[in-house]
Structure 1
Amino acid sequence: MAAYMLVSAKIYNPNQFAEYGKKMEQLIKIYSGEYLAKGSISDILEGYFDKSRKILIAKYPTLEQIHDMWNSEEYKKIKKIRKDVADVDVIIIDGIDS
Protein backbone atom coordinates (compact mmCIF):
# COMPACT_ATOMS: atom_id res chain seq x y z
CA MET A 1 0.00 0.00 0.00
CA ALA A 2 1.28 3.47 -0.85
CA ALA A 3 2.46 5.80 1.91
CA TYR A 4 2.90 9.56 1.92
CA MET A 5 5.54 11.68 3.59
CA LEU A 6 4.43 15.19 4.52
CA VAL A 7 7.12 17.72 5.40
CA SER A 8 6.53 21.18 6.87
CA ALA A 9 9.62 23.41 6.97
CA LYS A 10 10.35 26.85 8.43
CA ILE A 11 13.40 27.87 6.40
CA TYR A 12 15.99 30.33 7.78
CA ASN A 13 18.65 30.04 5.06
CA PRO A 14 17.02 29.50 1.64
CA ASN A 15 20.31 29.02 -0.25
CA GLN A 16 21.62 26.30 2.02
CA PHE A 17 18.19 24.69 2.24
CA ALA A 18 18.07 24.60 -1.58
CA GLU A 19 21.27 22.50 -1.54
CA TYR A 20 19.58 20.12 0.92
CA GLY A 21 16.47 20.03 -1.29
CA LYS A 22 18.42 19.07 -4.43
CA LYS A 23 20.13 16.19 -2.65
CA MET A 24 16.83 15.05 -1.12
CA GLU A 25 15.11 15.06 -4.50
CA GLN A 26 17.72 12.60 -5.79
CA LEU A 27 17.49 10.43 -2.67
CA ILE A 28 13.69 10.32 -2.77
CA LYS A 29 13.86 9.04 -6.37
CA ILE A 30 16.39 6.35 -5.39
CA TYR A 31 13.87 5.03 -2.87
CA SER A 32 11.05 5.07 -5.48
CA GLY A 33 9.41 8.19 -4.11
CA GLU A 34 7.89 10.98 -6.16
CA TYR A 35 6.90 14.54 -5.34
CA LEU A 36 3.17 15.23 -5.43
CA ALA A 37 3.32 18.79 -4.11
CA LYS A 38 6.08 21.17 -3.08
CA GLY A 39 5.94 24.85 -2.19
CA SER A 40 4.02 27.44 -0.21
CA ILE A 41 0.59 27.09 1.36
CA SER A 42 -1.86 28.45 -1.22
CA ASP A 43 -4.84 29.02 1.06
CA ILE A 44 -6.13 28.10 4.51
CA LEU A 45 -9.71 26.90 4.58
CA GLU A 46 -9.96 26.28 8.32
CA GLY A 47 -7.77 26.32 11.40
CA TYR A 48 -4.26 27.68 11.72
CA PHE A 49 -1.26 26.95 9.55
CA ASP A 50 1.89 29.05 9.43
CA LYS A 51 1.85 30.34 5.84
CA SER A 52 5.57 31.09 6.02
CA ARG A 53 6.32 27.35 6.11
CA LYS A 54 7.04 25.35 2.97
CA ILE A 55 5.20 22.06 2.44
CA LEU A 56 6.28 18.94 0.59
CA ILE A 57 4.24 15.82 -0.07
CA ALA A 58 6.01 12.75 -1.47
CA LYS A 59 4.43 9.42 -2.38
CA TYR A 60 6.22 6.09 -1.94
CA PRO A 61 5.05 2.63 -2.99
CA THR A 62 5.35 1.37 0.61
CA LEU A 63 5.83 2.60 4.16
CA GLU A 64 9.02 0.53 4.35
CA GLN A 65 10.61 2.55 1.54
CA ILE A 66 10.10 5.76 3.51
CA HIS A 67 11.71 4.20 6.58
CA ASP A 68 14.55 2.74 4.50
CA MET A 69 15.27 6.18 3.03
CA TRP A 70 14.97 7.95 6.38
CA ASN A 71 17.31 5.51 8.11
CA SER A 72 19.85 5.29 5.27
CA GLU A 73 23.47 6.39 5.56
CA GLU A 74 22.87 8.69 2.57
CA TYR A 75 20.11 10.53 4.40
CA LYS A 76 22.18 10.87 7.58
CA LYS A 77 24.83 12.72 5.53
CA ILE A 78 22.29 14.92 3.74
CA LYS A 79 20.44 15.76 6.97
CA LYS A 80 23.58 17.46 8.31
CA ILE A 81 23.19 20.14 5.60
CA ARG A 82 19.81 21.08 7.11
CA LYS A 83 21.16 21.65 10.63
CA ASP A 84 20.53 25.24 11.78
CA VAL A 85 19.00 26.05 8.36
CA ALA A 86 15.37 25.04 8.94
CA ASP A 87 12.95 23.68 11.51
CA VAL A 88 11.31 20.64 9.96
CA ASP A 89 8.31 18.53 10.96
CA VAL A 90 7.80 15.23 9.12
CA ILE A 91 4.89 12.80 9.28
CA ILE A 92 3.90 9.67 7.37
CA ILE A 93 0.35 9.05 6.21
CA ASP A 94 -0.89 5.62 5.15
CA GLY A 95 -2.44 5.41 1.71
CA ILE A 96 -5.89 3.98 1.06
CA ASP A 97 -6.36 0.54 -0.45
CA SER A 98 -8.30 0.82 -3.69
Structure 2
Amino acid sequence: MAAYVIAEAEHLDDPDVRRYRELAAESIARYDGRYLARGATPEPLEGEWPDTHRMVVIEFPSMVQAKNWYTSPEYADARAVRGVIAGRRMLFVEGLVG
Protein backbone atom coordinates (compact mmCIF):
# COMPACT_ATOMS: atom_id res chain seq x y z
CA MET A 1 0.00 0.00 0.00
CA ALA A 2 1.40 3.41 -0.96
CA ALA A 3 2.44 5.88 1.71
CA TYR A 4 2.70 9.64 1.48
CA VAL A 5 5.04 12.15 3.05
CA ILE A 6 3.53 15.60 3.34
CA ALA A 7 5.86 18.41 4.34
CA GLU A 8 5.31 22.09 4.98
CA ALA A 9 7.92 24.76 5.57
CA GLU A 10 8.63 28.39 5.00
CA HIS A 11 10.01 28.98 1.52
CA LEU A 12 13.69 29.86 1.77
CA ASP A 13 16.08 30.35 -1.12
CA ASP A 14 19.67 30.18 0.03
CA PRO A 15 22.59 27.92 -0.94
CA ASP A 16 22.07 25.48 1.95
CA VAL A 17 18.38 25.01 1.19
CA ARG A 18 19.09 24.59 -2.55
CA ARG A 19 21.70 21.92 -1.72
CA TYR A 20 19.23 20.25 0.65
CA ARG A 21 16.68 20.06 -2.16
CA GLU A 22 19.21 18.38 -4.46
CA LEU A 23 20.28 15.84 -1.86
CA ALA A 24 16.71 15.18 -0.75
CA ALA A 25 15.58 14.56 -4.34
CA GLU A 26 18.43 12.10 -4.87
CA SER A 27 17.61 10.27 -1.64
CA ILE A 28 13.89 10.13 -2.43
CA ALA A 29 14.56 8.59 -5.86
CA ARG A 30 16.97 6.07 -4.31
CA TYR A 31 14.18 4.84 -2.01
CA ASP A 32 11.63 4.60 -4.86
CA GLY A 33 9.81 7.77 -3.90
CA ARG A 34 8.41 10.30 -6.31
CA TYR A 35 7.25 13.85 -5.95
CA LEU A 36 3.55 14.44 -6.48
CA ALA A 37 3.88 18.12 -5.57
CA ARG A 38 7.08 20.03 -4.87
CA GLY A 39 7.33 23.58 -3.62
CA ALA A 40 3.65 24.10 -4.25
CA THR A 41 1.72 27.04 -2.87
CA PRO A 42 -1.58 25.61 -1.68
CA GLU A 43 -4.84 27.41 -2.28
CA PRO A 44 -6.66 27.28 1.06
CA LEU A 45 -10.38 26.65 0.77
CA GLU A 46 -10.84 26.46 4.53
CA GLY A 47 -8.54 27.84 7.19
CA GLU A 48 -5.37 29.85 6.71
CA TRP A 49 -2.14 29.16 4.86
CA PRO A 50 0.85 31.51 5.19
CA ASP A 51 1.88 33.03 1.85
CA THR A 52 5.51 32.25 2.66
CA HIS A 53 4.98 28.48 3.15
CA ARG A 54 5.24 25.76 0.55
CA MET A 55 4.10 22.15 0.48
CA VAL A 56 5.70 18.94 -0.74
CA VAL A 57 3.89 15.64 -1.28
CA ILE A 58 5.98 12.51 -1.90
CA GLU A 59 4.66 9.04 -2.68
CA PHE A 60 6.51 5.89 -1.62
CA PRO A 61 5.51 2.29 -2.43
CA SER A 62 4.93 1.56 1.27
CA MET A 63 5.19 3.04 4.75
CA VAL A 64 8.23 0.84 5.38
CA GLN A 65 9.95 2.36 2.34
CA ALA A 66 9.03 5.90 3.42
CA LYS A 67 10.46 5.29 6.90
CA ASN A 68 13.57 3.66 5.41
CA TRP A 69 14.09 6.81 3.36
CA TYR A 70 13.57 9.13 6.33
CA THR A 71 16.08 7.25 8.50
CA SER A 72 18.56 6.67 5.67
CA PRO A 73 22.12 7.98 5.66
CA GLU A 74 21.35 9.72 2.36
CA TYR A 75 18.52 11.76 3.82
CA ALA A 76 20.52 12.38 7.00
CA ASP A 77 23.11 14.07 4.80
CA ALA A 78 20.41 16.28 3.29
CA ARG A 79 19.03 17.22 6.72
CA ALA A 80 22.53 18.07 7.97
CA VAL A 81 22.99 20.54 5.10
CA ARG A 82 19.57 22.09 5.61
CA GLY A 83 19.87 22.59 9.34
CA VAL A 84 16.81 23.39 11.40
CA ILE A 85 13.92 25.12 9.65
CA ALA A 86 11.65 26.68 12.22
CA GLY A 87 8.03 25.73 11.85
CA ARG A 88 8.69 22.84 9.48
CA ARG A 89 6.14 20.04 9.65
CA MET A 90 6.34 16.58 8.11
CA LEU A 91 3.61 13.97 8.16
CA PHE A 92 3.52 10.33 7.10
CA VAL A 93 0.20 8.82 6.04
CA GLU A 94 -0.77 5.49 4.49
CA GLY A 95 -2.82 5.46 1.33
CA LEU A 96 -5.98 3.47 0.72
CA VAL A 97 -6.00 -0.05 -0.60
CA GLY A 98 -7.41 -0.30 -4.12
TM over 0.5: yes
SS in 1 for 2:32: coil
TM-score, normalising length: structure 1: 0.89
Report the residue type matching 1:66 in the other structure.
A
In the other structure, the counterpart of 2:17 is 17
1:40–1:52 contact (8 Å) kept in structure 2: no
Report the Cα distance in structure 2 between the residues aligned to 1:17 and 1:23, rounded to whole angstroms. 10
In the other structure, the counterpart of 2:75 is 75
Structure 2: give runs of 5+ residues left out of the alignment. Answer: none
Report the Cα distance in structure 2 between the residues aligned to 1:42 and 1:91, rounded to whole angstroms. 16
Distance change >3 Å, CA 42–CA 73, structure 1 → 2? closer
Task: Give the Å deviation of 1:38.
Answer: 1.0
TM-score, normalising length: structure 2: 0.89
SS in 2 for 1:38: strand
Distance change >3 Å, CA 39–CA 77, structure 1 → 2? closer
2:23–2:74 contact (8 Å) kept in structure 1: no
RMSD of aligned residue pairs (Cα, Å): 1.5
Structure 1: give runs of 5+ residues left out of the alignment. Answer: none
Count, aligned residues: 97
Report the Cα distance in structure 2 between the residues aligned to 1:43 and 1:71, rounded to whole angstroms. 31
